[in-house]
Structure 1
């Protein structure tokens, strides 16, 4: 929530979107473990375990009635979040805050994850406005290997390196980015 909070304090934001592939999996694991071992459930863990709790808590803490949403779309969560942000801009919102994040993935789940999937926490907050600087097109592709970085951090790396064009691999699509 802190990445979003900092952006809300610095920018006039009209809409907020939180994207997360796994959401609060660490909290969900604690709940399931408590149930399996017949321990008391944490009311805080329970209340914050739903996918939209982070964005909801952000708008409550900001004491601003901001349009907010959250989504998860597997490997393409970041890219689908950008599609949602574009829809919000086309609906008339001027500045969309998009926070892509994942919490720590508990060790219990590691054997079931692709070998390269990151298990560490991260968050990237972007303030998105309408513009013509970037173009994105898609091309169908066979499912590929899991990347060592989430899509949002791959995007950030290319953005900071000022790459003129780059491709992010998704579940079934190649997302081809280029500067105008």
Structure 2
């Protein structure tokens, strides 16, 4: 499936600008486990104060990437674990037989940030939420491309967000976690024909055939979103990202003139 990316915004690991991510792709800058949250100054202070770190990361990248189509662009919001800090607190409250907060429950589900984005921008376009384990980022990209093509959308917004899981769940995590969000404003190859210097990308997926008598494969230690950003901000023509179940192939086809 071919597509172009009109805008990419990422915030995580102490890297907040395109220049930071370019340096990361060139192995000139490393990721940090500590970072400041985005200021989100475009939102009223009353609304900002109610947002969790997960929501702040997600909304910052979504608002920046959507740019001048904030109110009309369809979207796909993706996260493996969602705002698990909120969910964990609700589970703890259930165990303690405390009264649950309907507001906190509503903000803990996977499509909550998409709803907040819709409310703040007045965007009534279709929105979906994706969670697919280790393959969440590329599955969400595939979902966005399918929607883009089947509905003849001009653009679609993909927003991926992940924060480190609470300590009680750390023993179950195989990946090196990071607080990170990445938003892509995606266009079809045809839509971008009239624009200059637009790179065309192609995404392909291959099923892995399990080998007999082989031990169960481990997940990749690196998050797929980092594989994507390292490729996007490099000059490489292709990258292969392997997971337990799939082999994702992302290629840079051409620069349209």
Common topology (TM > 0.5): yes
Matched, 1:133 2:190: no
Q: C-alpha distance in 2, partners of 1:98/1:69?
A: 10
Question: Within 2, Cα distance between the matches of 1:49 and 1:155?
Answer: 27
Deviation at 1:144, TM superposition (A): 4.2
Number of matched residues?
177
SS of the aligned residue for 2:188 comes to coil
How far apart in 2 are the matches of 1:39 and 1:119? 31
1:9-24 equivalences under 5 Å are 10-12=67-69, 13-24=72-83
Determine helix, strand or coil for the equivalent of 2:62. Answer: helix
1:57 paired with 2:116, answer yes
What pairs with 1:63-78 in structure 2 (closer than 5 Å)? 63-78=122-137
Cα RMSD over matched residues? 1.9
CA contact (8 A) 2:73 2:123 kept: no
1:172 aligns with 2:245: yes
Indicate conservation of the 8 Å contact 1:76/1:170, yes or no: yes
The residue correspondences of 1:35-114 to structure 2 (distance < 5 A) are 35-90=94-149, 91-114=151-174
SS of 1:50 mapped into structure 2? coil
In the alignment, the residues of structure 2 paired with residue 158 and residue 144 of structure 1 have an alpha-carbon distance, to the nearest angstrom, of: 24
Q: Normalising to structure 1: TM-score of the pair?
A: 0.89
Does structure 2 conserve the Cα–Cα contact (< 8 Å) formed by 1:167 and 1:176?
Answer: yes
Tell me, yes or no, if the aligned pair for 2:111 and 2:129 is still in contact at 8 Å. Answer: yes
Bigger shift: residues 47-56 or 144-153:
144-153
* Distance (whole Å) between structure 1 residues aligned to residue 147 and residue 207 of structure 2: 25
Structure 2 unmatched runs, 5+: 1-58, 190-198, 211-215
CA contact (8 A) 1:19 1:81 kept: yes
The 8 Å contact of residues 177 and 223 in structure 2, kept in 1 or not, is answered as no
Contact 2:218-2:244 within 8 A present in 1 as well: no
Supply the distance in 2 between the matched residues of 1:120 and 1:135 (Cα, whole angstroms): 27
Mark the runs of 5 or more structure 1 residues left unpaired by the alignment. none
Corresponding residue of 2:33: none
Matched with 2:177 is 119
